[in-house]
Amino acid sequence: MTGLKQYANLIGGEWVPATANQRLETRNPADAREIVASYPLGGTAEAEAALAAARDAFPAWAGMTAVARGRVLSKASQILDARKTELATLLTREEGKTLAEATGEVQRAVDIFRFFGGLSYTWGGQTLPHDLPGNLLFTRREPLGVVALITPWNFPIAIPAWKLAPALLCGNTVVLKPASPAPAMAMELGAALVEAGLPKGVLNLVVGEGRTVGETLANSPTVVALSFTGSAGVGQKIHEQLARRMARSQMEMGGKNPTIVLADADLDLAVSLVIRAGFGLTGQACTATSRVIVERGVLPAFTEKLVAKAAALKVGNGLAPGVDMGPAVSEGQLASNLVYVQGAVAQGARLLFGGRRLNDGDRAHGWFMEPTVLGNVSPTMTIACEEVFGPVIAVLAAEDFDDALRIANGVEFGLSASLVTRDLKKAMLYADRIEAGVVKINQISTGLALQAPFGGVKRSSTDSFKEQGAGAVEFYSRLKTVYLDYSA
Ligand code: NAD
């Protein structure tokens, strides 16, 4: 599928152009000559109009039963499912990940809406035993009001889906601001919900910059709760803005995720897990493995196998058959990745593979780079501490399990953490002691079950509410406690 897609913002049930008449164009990261989509660039005026529409739509949507709201979500799931191939292709063209990765992500959005549609039958409160006879004590789950969602570009349909579905199920109305490098999937999600019968104003979509649209949402007294996924710096700022007016805040941010490889591990398994978790999605996943911490005894054998596998990966346009890894999302992201690699080498890391831009042949107009492996990395180097968000793996040596754990916990982030071992005791000790929201044993650090809670600790998250799973409704609703005395 080719051709320029034209989008408008969704405000109060209408698809509207921006008042300032400015447009945002997205380009294909695999060939930046191709314009993929064009959007009206919203600003403060659009954000405020969207908030007003959401406020007006709230009473009627909140007044519907959860089951009726759930029907809309289930119907949206079916609509997305029917358009899966078309949406996945568009996702690849705008964000760059391979078609297989994009198809998996669209499927995730389909499943999330199906899950929360079904969950609508369980939405409610709890009956509790009262101390006295003839008394009923129960909780009711209620919506919050107008909720703002601010999302990143790297999972442009899955993340909007995993925030939107529980927000809507709970009876909130929403203003969603997608990230500017890849807004198409959020707009398509909106279109599917409109087609599924979502009432006007319940979901509003505004494309625009963080410092205009994002800031307006973060500072508006209309917004009673804001869920954000993105970088740690922006998340911290928004959290502070919300705290001032004591609005509810859910900030899910970056990671510096370790995979520990112990001496008893199946090294072929370890290498294949690290390759998938480090270079899959071009390393542009918050849960990507960016540090591999290897027991010294197996370090040479592990590193040799890792480099051989990295060298065999095919980098190219994600729509081309056989491609393992697509481009970086943008020229800026590519440049930042390469600067991190150069900085690591300057600090004493050894470039074991990669480190260069790829701009030969079909790759001449895209933001491609080699999958990169750095050795001789010490825990204090920048490359071992900061999130790169690209296909760059730093390999660190550890003396033993305890040393590996200490290194793994020695960063400010705590999102996902993997361990490769055959030792069940060490696996359980790892689950006990690792400072991370998600622990994977003999599995890739990326990849989540939609029915399970997800979120980080330390600087990866505000760590107050989890996303995903049935518990996602906690952030988007409140409990009211009712005491009823019928004894008299
Ligand atoms: P980003 O922080 O640059 O942007 C995220 C969103 O915030 C975008 O929509 C952006 O426009 C908006 N924004 C920017 N400045 C703003 C401001 N001042 N006020 C309000 N909104 C503002 O992040 P990104 O580059 O889009 O995404 C990559 C980051 O997201 C990485 O750090 C990655 O680890 C993180 N991420 C985390 C998770 C998770 O679940 N923990 C998942 C995916 C991505």
Between CA 398 and CA 29 the distance in angstroms is 37
443 Cβ partners below 8 Å, 6+ apart?
A: 273, 418
With the most atoms of ligand 1 within 8 angstroms of its CB, the residue from 44, 95, 108, 154 to mutate is 154
For the domain made up of 257-441, the CATH class stated in words is alpha beta
Q: Is 176 in the pocket of ligand 1 (CB under 6 A)?
A: no
Q: Is 156 in the pocket of ligand 1 (CB under 6 A)?
A: no
* Paired residues of 353 in beta bridges: 373
The verdict on whether 170 is a catalytic residue reads no
Helix (DSSP H) and strand (DSSP E) numbers for the chain: 14, 24
Tens digit of each residue's pLDDT (9 = 90 or more) over 51-61: 999 999 999 99
Query: Which among 171, 190, 152, 119 is positioned nearest to 451, based on CA atoms?
Result: 119
Query: Which among 267, 157, 266, 176 is positioned nearest to 214, based on CA atoms?
Result: 176
Ligand 1 atom nearest residue 456's Cα: 41
Tens digit of each residue's pLDDT (9 = 90 or more) over 67-124: 999 999 999 999 999 999 999 999 999 999 999 999 999 999 999 999 999 999 999 8
Mean pLDDT throughout 383-397?
98
Tens digit of each residue's pLDDT (9 = 90 or more) over 425-450: 999 999 999 999 999 999 999 999 99
Ligand 1 atom nearest residue 467's Cα: 40
Q: What is the pTM of this model?
A: 0.98
Helices in 13-65 by DSSP H: which ranges? 44-63
Q: Is 254 in the pocket of ligand 1 (CB under 6 A)?
A: yes
Cα(234) to centroid of ligand 1, in Å?
7
| pLDDT for residue 262 | 98
Indicate where the chain has its CATH 3.40.309.10 domain(s).
257-441
Q: Is 150 in the pocket of ligand 1 (CB under 6 A)?
A: yes
| pLDDT for residue 1 | 53
Indicate where the chain has its CATH 3.40.605.10 domain(s).
5-253+461-482
Fold of 5-253+461-482: Aldehyde Dehydrogenase; Chain A, domain 1 (3.40.605)
Tens digit of each residue's pLDDT (9 = 90 or more) over 14-58: 999 877 778 999 999 999 999 999 999 999 999 999 999 999 999
Ligand 1 atom nearest residue 235's Cα: 2
Query: Which among 220, 208, 157 is positioned nearest to 179, based on CA atoms?
Result: 208
* Axis-axis angle for helices 99-119, 158-169 (nearest 10): 10
Secondary structure of 85-133 in the HEC alphabet?
A: HHHHHHHHHHHCCCHHHHHHHHHHHHHHHHHHHHHHHHCCCCEECCCCC
